[in-house]
Amino acid sequence: MTTYSQTIQQHSPNRPHFTVRWVVIALVAVTVLGTGAWMLWNTPDLSSVPTVNVPADAVTLNADTADAQVPGSRPASAQADTATLAAAEEPVTAADEVIATESEAVSESSQASLHIMAIAGTYGTVVWPTADGQLPQTVPVGEQLTATARSADSLWLYVQTDTTAGWAEAAQVYAFGLDSLPVLETAPSVDATVNSAPETAVSSAESALAVDESAETIAVEGGLATDETAVSAVVTLDSSRLNVRSGPSTDSVIIAKAYPNEEFTAIGRDGSGEWLQLALPNVEGGFGWVSATYMALSESIDSLPVSTEVSSAPAFVSAPVAADGSGSADPGVASVLMSTDAASASVSGLSGTLAFQSSHGMIYAYDLETGTEWPLTTGFDPAISPDGTTVAFTRDGGENGIYLIGIDGSNERLIFSGREQLSSPKWNADGSEILFTYRTESQELVQVGRGDSAETKLVTDYGYHLAVVDSDGNNFFEVPALESARAADWIDAGIVYQSSDGIQIIDDVEDAESRVVAYNNLNPFDYDPDWQSTVDSNGGQIAYMKQGASHWEIYVVNPDGSGMTALTQPVTTLVDELPSNVAPAYSPDGQYIAYLSNLGADNSADAWQIWVMEADGSNARPLSIDVEIEYTFGDEQAVSWGI
């Protein structure tokens, strides 16, 4: 056998947990590359982009993907299908007519810039028209749009199709060179780095169920809903819960949660048609408000009376799921599980801030003492600095690299790039340096067989390496770890990382050698280690996730390999799907572990939540975080705990 090797550095695909999405992107890319260049110069001249006059509060999105409002437009899913308008609604004006309503023009420098052909994303692209009285439209996946301008933060694009023009989220389209588009000073004022889940912005006609014949007669301000006229409202979300608020505004208190596909009776709407008033028999006052974007109605929203009522129900707080799995909500009604006082008692003693990634490529921060959460930016693998002021993270969209951002969402900057598939940043103890993983790719020509049957095959091999840079991105230094090193953690006692040879430890010096902590060649799936900090700086136990037959659990082990113990385990195996516990992260004082779990109320796998337990595995409970979380087992370090 003869071989010829050549190392090739090239752009890597998105991270492993986005395999499905990138299959779609690859297919779309063929279309873009095949037709984009020709269409770019044969598209009608759109260089004179109108100024879009959108109110300052044009778009807000609740972190649970449950509230979304665009003043002047009714939510798409107030109808049975966002792609098909109800007969009672006016048709969407053609793009030329929409543009004609705009009176101002962008600056001369903007007029000279390119317009870019884009493709609607995996779940379609929602376009929010800027003209009053028009409904948002969903452009189906794969269809073409023309992007002519962008918002200052590049999160929103002004796009045009044959039938509409308006603002669409950049995260919902595939396109190249968006940075070359002009910036509209009057672009919508968007909550920093908000990206909605496109799949939850599309309602389903099939989920508009018939009116329940047993619907009771319910009085509302300005009208009366009877059993003959009651309007059925079905939650169109597939996985996350829908916020139910006291009034028709994202500023109103969350008083309950509605589950995917739950059916309610709609008894009213606000004047704009952006909010629905639902009958909630088990909630104080008997009603609550939800964003109409995420409801499918059996009748036109215009058939509902306008209401201005505000509920006096207390704020909702998620209840912990007990070890026996109790605490499940009754189906068919919004969930009111426990009082605020009880929830506070369940997380008493916790302090500091969590940074975590959501299901939509967003990074959020959460204050454990106040329960406040806020979006930071788009990216993955957040890591809070030792002083709690800065978050390091990586980003796949745009330029892959190591980024920093203030814990308040300010001063985002790229500090290092130039290597492939950068991931998993971690700070050293004094915050002066950052450790991370990068990937190399080599291709080897291998001759297989002899004589006439011999053939040459090209084999691709990937290597993963640990490296360190200063907190300003300078002084690159490669750690001599194994060439399968990933998902590392760094404390004074050293660096711990996962590899194809199990959990390993290495000192952060030039000639250091790795030493194994935990490895089983019959089950070599020990991932995402996190090292417990101690007062003496010698390091305590190492928490990591281990794969079982069909699920994952969190284990701890001493640095010398002794004392391996499971901290989590299934409540019962008599379920359709066993839940998993993953992504452990110690608190700064080493007394607690935050982690992700999809343990549901029935002890089966359900939606992902952030949980906290004592360092010995006791007193496990979920946190009341209203953000949809997804974990895809792609080596993501999903949670970080800072002071």
Q: Provide mean pLDDT across the span 372-384.
A: 92
- Give φ, ψ of 507 to 5 degrees: -80, 150
- Residue 115 scores a pLDDT above 60: yes
Tokens (6 digits) for 600: 């549901």
Please compute the mean of the pLDDT values over residues 611-622 and round it to a whole number. 93
CA 372 – CA 374 distance, rounded (Å): 7
| 34: confidence class by pLDDT, cuts 50, 70, 90 | low
Q: CA 485 → CA 495, 526, 545, 546, 633, distances in Å?
A: 11, 12, 16, 17, 16
In three-state form (DSSP H/G/I as H, E/B as E, the rest C), the secondary structure along 249-298 is: CCCCCEEEEECCCCEEEEEEECCCCCEEEEECCCCCCCEEEEEHHHEEEC
Task: Quote the pLDDT of residue 113.
Answer: 45
Please give the residue that has the higher pLDDT: either 212 or 417.
Answer: 417
pLDDT tops 90 at residue 138: no
Q: Tokens representing 43?
A: 């598209």
Distance CA 48, CA 57 (A): 25
| Both tokens assigned to 564 | 């391996």
332-374: pLDDT as tens digits: 333 332 223 333 334 457 899 999 998 778 899 999 988 888 8
pLDDT on residue 199: 31
For residue 636, pLDDT over 60 is answered with: yes
Cα→Cα distances 498→152, 209, 479, 563, Å:
40, 49, 14, 18
Q: What is the pLDDT of residue 12?
A: 40
418-445 average pLDDT score? 92
pLDDT of residue 590: 93
Alpha helices in 42-193 (DSSP H): 95-100, 108-111
3 state SS of 535: coil
Non-local CB neighbours of 93 within 8 Å, separated by 6+ positions:
129, 131, 134, 164
Of residues 485, 487, 556, 561, the one with CA closest to residue 519 = 561
- pLDDT value at 66 more than 90: no
Q: Is the pLDDT of residue 173 over 90?
A: no
Ranked by mean pLDDT, the top range of 101-115, 131-145, 276-290, 607-621 is: 607-621
pLDDT recorded at residue 385: 97
φ and ψ of 517, to 5 deg = -110, -45
Q: Is it the case that residue 75 has pLDDT exceeding 50?
A: no
d(CA 30, CA 575): 43
Average pLDDT over residues 36-40: 47
Please count the other Cβ atoms lying within 10 Å of the Cβ belonging to residue 105. Answer: 12
Q: What is the mean pLDDT of residues 175-201?
A: 54
Higher pLDDT, 353 or 208: 353
Residue 84 in this model has a pLDDT that exceeds 50 = no
- Residue 143, pLDDT > 70, answer yes
Q: What is the pLDDT of residues 557-605, one digit of tens each?
A: 999 999 999 999 888 888 889 999 999 999 999 999 999 999 998 889 9
Q: Going from the N-terminus, what domains does the chain have, and what CATH number goes with each?
A: 43-199 (no CATH), 205-303 (2.30.30.40), 347-642 (2.120.10.30)
Consecutive H or E run containing 495: strand 494-498
For 78, which DSSP code?
G
> What are the DSSP calls for 541-576, one per residue?
-EEEEEE-SSSEEEEEE-TTS---EES---S-S-SS
pTM reported for the whole predicted model: 0.51
With 80 as the cut, is the pLDDT of residue 523 above it? yes
* pLDDT above 70 as % of the chain: 68
The model's confidence at residue 126, banded by pLDDT at 50, 70 and 90, is: confident
pLDDT, position 318: 43
> Most confidently modeled of 12-21, 44-53, 121-130, 417-426?
417-426
Q: What is the pLDDT of residue 23?
A: 52
- Answer yes or no: is pLDDT of 208 > 90: no
Is the pLDDT score of 19 beyond 70? no
pLDDT (tens digit, 9 = 90+) per residue, 218-235?
333 333 344 445 789 988
Position 254 scores a pLDDT of: 82
Nearest to 629 by CA among 604, 614, 611: 611
Q: What are phi and psi of 292, to 5 degrees?
A: -65, -15
Average pLDDT over the chain, rounded to whole?
74
Is 60 exceeded by the pLDDT of residue 83?
no
> What is the pLDDT at residue 212?
33
The residue type found at 626 is D
In this predicted structure, what is the pLDDT of residue 295?
Answer: 86
Helix (H) or strand (E) holding 23: helix 19-41
Q: What is the largest CA-CA distance in the chain?
A: 89
